[in-house]
């Protein structure tokens, strides 16, 4: 599992990791948040309405789900089962509460927290992303501060100041797990 505040670069780390090791595969989560520019349903997320998401909760379809900000996010049991059956190195990129819940169910899973070089850099990255409103940026920074407090609950912490080094560190952690 990879966690880290919004803007810490965990998705970039994941993409580079996948280039190093093609068995590395991310589960596609379900969410009620609206797609960002360039995001595709079924690839980045399964974008669901709140009613659609609730139906999946009722059907016990989630390994874990959380309300994060205004939206729901959840890891589907079917995704984890499919990728494990395909012998993939299954990567969940999820927030801290979800990671804690998954660790309870799969204690053998490795948890890695990606840290931004500083909160100032994190703020700049969130502003540059530009797809979110100022209000959303401020809200994500407040969530980020709370998330950073959870870093010691993770098996490993890696600072994303230099992408190549960060990716190499994560690669070694995964391969020694
Ligand atoms: P974003 O809206 O930026 O794509 O994601 C917001 C946060 O939700 C990120 O920290 C992301 O890792 C996390 N997230 C994405 N999918 C899931 C999920 O299935 N479960 C949980 N618990 N968090 C998720």
CA of 94 to the centre of ligand 1 (A): 5
For residue 2, which atom of ligand 1 is closest to its CA?
12
**% of the chain beyond a pLDDT of 70:** 98
Q: What is the DSSP letter of 29?
A: P
Domains and CATH numbers, the chain: 2-176 (3.40.50.300)
- Judge whether residue 138 has pLDDT over 90: no
* Span 139-160, average pLDDT: 94
Residue nearest to atom 18 of ligand 1 (CA): 74
101-126 residue pLDDT tens: 999 999 999 999 999 999 999 988 88
32-87 residue pLDDT tens: 999 999 999 999 999 999 999 999 999 999 999 999 988 999 999 999 999 999 99
Single pTM value for the model: 0.92
Reported as type and span, the H/E element at residue 44 is: none
CA of 145 to the centre of ligand 1 (A): 16
4 pocket-lining for ligand 1 (C-beta < 6 Å): no
CA distances from 126 to 32, 49, 130, 132, 138 (A): 20, 25, 7, 8, 9
- Which ranges in the chain belong to alpha helices (H)? 10-20, 50-58, 77-85, 96-105, 119-129, 134-148, 163-176
CA of 20 to the centre of ligand 1 (A): 23
Question: Is residue 22 packed enough to be buried (19+ CB in 10 Å), middle (13-18) or exposed (0-12)?
Answer: exposed
Q: What is the DSSP letter of 168?
A: H
- Judge whether residue 6 has pLDDT over 90: no
């Amino acid at each position: 599992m990879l966690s880290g505040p919004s803007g810490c670069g965990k998705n970039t780390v994941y993409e580079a990791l996948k280039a190093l090791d093609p068995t590395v595969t991310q589960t596609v989560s379900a969410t009620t948040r609206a797609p960002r520019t360039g995001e595709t349903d079924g690839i980045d997320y399964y974008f669901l309405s709140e009613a659609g998401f609730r139906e999946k909760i009722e059907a016990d379809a989630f390994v874990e789900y959380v309300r994060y900000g205004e939206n729901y996010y959840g890891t589907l049991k079917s995704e984890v089962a499919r990728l494990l059956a395909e012998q993939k190195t299954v990567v969940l990129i999820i927030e801290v509460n979800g990671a804690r819940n998954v660790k309870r169910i799969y204690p053998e899973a490795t948890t890695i927290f990606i840290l931004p070089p500083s909160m100032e850099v994190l703020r700049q990255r969130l502003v540059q992303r530009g797809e979110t409103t100022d209000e959303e940026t401020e809200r994500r920074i407040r969530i980020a501060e709370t998330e950073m407090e959870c870093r010691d609950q993770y098996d490993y912490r890696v600072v994303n100041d230099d992408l190549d080094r960060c990716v190499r560190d994560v690669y070694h952690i995964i391969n020694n797990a």
